[in-house]
Amino acid sequence: MRNVQRKKVKSNFHHGRFIIVCFCISIVFVGLAARAAYIQIIKPDMAVNESNKRTLRVKKLHVQRGMIFDRMGKELAVSVPVVSVYVDPKRLNEGLVKKVLKQAKKQGENIKLLAENDALLSKRVKEHYKQDIRWKELADVLRVKQNKIDYRLVGDPTKRFIYLQRQITPAVAEYIKRLKLPGIHLIDESKRYYPAGEVTAHVLGFTNIDGKGIEGMEKLYDNALTGTDGRRTYRKDAQGREIEILDERERVEPESIHLSIDQRIQAIAYKALKSAVLSFKATSGSAMVVDVKTGEILAMVNSPSYNPNNLKNALPHKRRNRAITDLFEPGSTVKPLAILAGLEYGTIAEDTIINTYPGYMRVGGSIVKDTRNYGKMTLRQIIKKSSNMGVAKVTKELPKNFVVGLYEKVGFNEDTGTNMIGESSGLFTPRRRWSDHEIASLSFGYTLAISTAQLSRFYATLGSGGISRPLTILKQDTPMYGERILEQKNINAVLKMMESVFERGGTAPNVKLDGYRVAAKTGTSKKAVAGGYGDEYVNYFAGVGPVSDPRLSVVVMVNEPGGDEYYGATTTGPAFTEIMSGALRILNVAPDLNTIAATKVGANRD
Amino acid sequence: MNTKSSAIKNSTRQPNLFSEILKGFFKEKIVCLLLFLIFISALSVVQVTYASRQELISQDKLLQQRDDLDLQWRYLLVEQEFYAQHVRIEEIAKSKLGMKRPQSKDEQVVILP
């Protein structure tokens, strides 16, 4: 039985066949292995490329420009993401040609013939373009006229990049994306938005359409505000999800800038200045508020201003930050410095009486005069009446170098230290020979021209009791380093004198400050024109308050008031009081005028 | 003698292929164990890769969400700033709510000890 079975097996086995089958199968496997080896070892690039084409993606990690805050953390400049649309006319044309050929194929035409016939093809393409309603929709959603956009889209198919519109909202971008037009692409960009608008326009400056700072703070701190975009290389799966990160460059977040500006004070200052400039038909105006204890600028405004969110109407004369760029002769506002010079040198004392009779005098060939003959005056009266004779007589007794040196020390020949773009350092060159008349003019604020910022710094020095600090536009944790340049007791004496300006018979009797004692000085200076002084005026109102413990220095300047009024007190007085009392209230400074009843909490317990 | 006869006896019968394979396996215990471990490790590689991909996908989603929220936040911020404009609030306070700035005589100063 067993033998039979074995025989049967043997008889079924054909040796030749077996070998052939083995050979064939092994050929197949060797062939497969060879092909695999060819693809994987000898020429692997092609397979890798094909795979990468399908799965490898690079994503740009967009970073927004840094924000600018005021001292209370309120946002003054925010970047919001927007989208720009551009067209690649070459791809667009290719897309259209493809469509036309596809249609022709459906209708059974000879495509090859059509593809070779350029004239006919371009005619068909144009027809197709006109028929497709999506292109009209694109023009509509971008709010452009169809014929205007046509030229850019199909005008020249050799071009590769033309912007259709920049900075559209994400909603519009989404709509365009869904139109699925050939050759139309979107790129992420960001747009700078300034919530405070024209109020902070000059300080902040603005960026160009590519997000680079070109004015003001935006330019000064452009590097800090600009981050670096990141890049991520990753593999995606069939559903477009990220499954493997191959390479990643983290984005570098930009820094934020914290300004010393207090937006509430800035808004009050802007409103007050704007109404002063408008109601007195002035060409321009500036105002500054400085914290005298730290040197920080709490407000810096100019009028006319512009809307930084829409630069269409921003003419160059509106863009200028006049508070730091424009120079004027400060006039009577520097008279306290002349008095201080005398006090510092010791030629006069607080109670000195100066005879200004007969109200005019000849100094070095020119005449110095008052509006009328005031006769004998105390220093307090000189400041109160703003007597040119009085201060000229004070400086006449002093060495020229000392007077000029003091003007230099308070910073009339240097910038204020803010580092802001376009800041001027004044027109005052101490190193030269001064004539007697020039020294006399210096005492009442002529023969030198300074910016509103420089005047603010001088008044901040008065407010801080004689310590001169550089001004800063950035929020500080500790006060700016200051240097004592004037004696505290002299400053106290002069501040008391300056309070008299608001009294009956002073230069600003109608200007009333509610609740606070303020030391201030008005200024009305004629503007120099070629060959002498013209008919235009510059009005100043500068002061510090509250006198009992000065906190703020406020300077208001109005240039070329156009109405009948040209006295400093009339044009700038209301703005000055509004800014000073408004700012002091906001800063919670206790009123020091005795009309206010003060309640001391916890006083009963003692 | 006994073993030989059983071998003969076994060889005469149709061998059970499955049990023979199993027997072969158990002869090489270490190899068998290694094979088992290889299976485990291979499966866990698959599992871990799958899990890590899921994590990556969710991370990507979260990052996307963060950017979307950031975008939304910025738009809300701008909107808030628009409504919080100093001029606008002052206008509303004055005209709608009939508020005014206090005069110094209306003020009561409280000085903390």
Query: The domain that contains A213 carries what CATH number?
Result: 3.90.1310.10
Q: Which of A160, A195, A210 is the last residue of a domain?
A: A160
- Residue among A193, A241, A515 minimizing CB distance to B107: A515
Q: List CB contacts (< 8 A) between A9 and chain B.
A: none
The answer on A440 and A293 residing in a single domain is yes
Q: How confident is the model at residue A40 (pLDDT cuts 50, 70, 90)?
A: confident
A162-166, A337-341, A527-531: range with lowest mean pLDDT: A527-531
A123-137, A292-306, A320-334: range with lowest mean pLDDT: A123-137
The answer on A104 and A72 residing in a single domain is no
Q: CA of B49 to nearest chain A CA: how many angstroms apart?
A: 9
Q: Is the pLDDT of residue A70 over 60?
A: yes
A→B contacts (Cβ < 8 Å), by residue, are 64, 75, 78-81, 170, 193, 195-197, 199, 237, 241-245, 263-264, 267-268, 271, 514-515, 590-591, 593, 595-603
The pLDDT of residue A595:
53
Does the pTM surpass 0.90? The reply is no
Task: Find the residue in A nearest to B76 (Cα).
Answer: A80
Q: List CB contacts (< 8 A) between B56 and chain A.
A: 242-245
B→A contacts (Cβ < 8 Å), by residue, are 53, 56-57, 59-60, 70-71, 74-75, 77-78, 81-82, 84-87, 103-105, 107-113
Tokens linked to B18: 């499955």
Residues A342, A348: contact at Cβ < 8 Å?
yes
The pLDDT of residue B40:
96
DSSP A349: -
Contact B86 A602 (CB under 8 A): no
Q: If DSSP states are collapsed to H, E and C, what string results for A567-593? A: CHHHHHHHHHHHHHHHHHHHCCCCCCC
Q: How far is CA A353 from CA A357, A377, A391, in A?
A: 12, 5, 12
The answer on A219 and A284 residing in a single domain is no
Q: Is the pLDDT of residue A604 over 50?
A: no
- Please give the average per-residue pLDDT across B99-108, as a whole number: 78
- Please give the average per-residue pLDDT across B75-83, as a whole number: 87
Query: For residue A9, which amino acid is it?
Result: V
Q: Which residue has the tokens 């006869």?
A: B5
The answer on A423 and A341 residing in a single domain is yes
The ipTM (two decimal places) reads: 0.70
Task: Find the residue in A nearest to B64 (Cα).
Answer: A61
- Please give the average per-residue pLDDT across A166-177, as a whole number: 86
Contact A264 B86 (CB under 8 A): yes
Q: Is the pLDDT of residue A593 over 80?
A: no
Q: How far is CA A270 from CA A67, A275, A345, A412, in A?
A: 22, 8, 40, 25
- Please give the average per-residue pLDDT across A129-157, as a whole number: 83
In a domain, A248, yes or no: yes
Residues A263, B85: Cα–Cα separation, whole Å: 10
Give how many domains chain A has, as a whole number.
3
Tokens linked to A84: 């720009």
Q: Is the pLDDT of residue A51 over 60?
A: yes
The pLDDT of residue A359:
84
Tokens linked to A579: 């800014």
- Please give the average per-residue pLDDT across A280-301, as a whole number: 94
Q: CA of B26 to nearest chain A CA: how many angstroms apart?
A: 32
For chain B, how far is it from start to end, CA to CA, in angstroms?
115
Residues A601, B113: contact at Cβ < 8 Å?
yes
Residues A521, A386: contact at Cβ < 8 Å?
yes
Q: CA of A80 to nearest chain B CA: how many angstroms apart?
A: 6
- Please give the average per-residue pLDDT across A559-573, as a whole number: 83
- Average of per-residue pLDDT values in chain B: 83
The answer on A103 and A75 residing in a single domain is no
Helical (H) or strand (E) element with A556: strand A552-559
In a domain, A599, yes or no: no
Domain that holds residue A99: 89-160
What beta strand segments (E) does A324-457 contain? 353-355, 360-363, 366-369, 376-378
The pLDDT of residue A451:
93
- A550 preceded by a cis bond (ω within 30 of 0): no
Q: List CB contacts (< 8 A) between B82 and chain A.
A: 195
Q: What is the C-alpha radius of gyration for chain A, rounded to an integer number of angstroms?
A: 39
The pLDDT of residue B6:
52
Q: Which residue has the tokens 């040196």?
A: A405
Q: Report the catalytic residues of A.
A: 332
In a domain, A532, yes or no: yes
The answer on A576 and A428 residing in a single domain is yes
Helical (H) or strand (E) element with A232: strand A230-236
Q: CA of A604 to nearest chain B CA: how many angstroms apart?
A: 11
User: Is beta strand A376-378 parallel, antiparallel or unpaired with respect to A353-355?
Assistant: antiparallel
Contact A243 B56 (CB under 8 A): yes
The answer on A197 and A98 residing in a single domain is no
DSSP A144: -
CA A340 to chain centre: 37
Kindly tell me the burial class for residue A170, based on how many C-beta atoms sit within 10 Å of its own C-beta (0-12, 13-18, 19 or more): middle
Residues A469, A460: Cα–Cα separation, whole Å: 8
Q: Is the pLDDT of residue B41 over 80?
A: yes
The pLDDT of residue A605:
39
- Residue among B70, B105, B108 minimizing CB distance to A595: B105
The pLDDT of residue A603:
44
- Please give the average per-residue pLDDT across A252-268, as a whole number: 92
Q: Is the pLDDT of residue A148 over 90?
A: no
The pLDDT of residue A606:
38
CA-nearest of A460, A441, A440 to A449 is A441
Query: For residue A66, which amino acid is it?
Result: G
In a domain, A444, yes or no: yes
Q: Is the pLDDT of residue A341 over 90?
A: yes
Q: List CB contacts (< 8 A) between B78 and chain A.
A: 78, 80, 193, 195
The answer on A275 and A255 residing in a single domain is no
The answer on A215 and A337 residing in a single domain is no
Q: How far is CA A514 from CA A294, A500, A529, A543, B105, in A?
A: 25, 16, 39, 15, 9
In a domain, A57, yes or no: no
Q: CA of B46 to nearest chain A CA: how many angstroms apart?
A: 14
Instruction: Provide the CB-side half-sphere exposure for A275 (13 A, CA).
Output: 12
In a domain, A165, yes or no: no
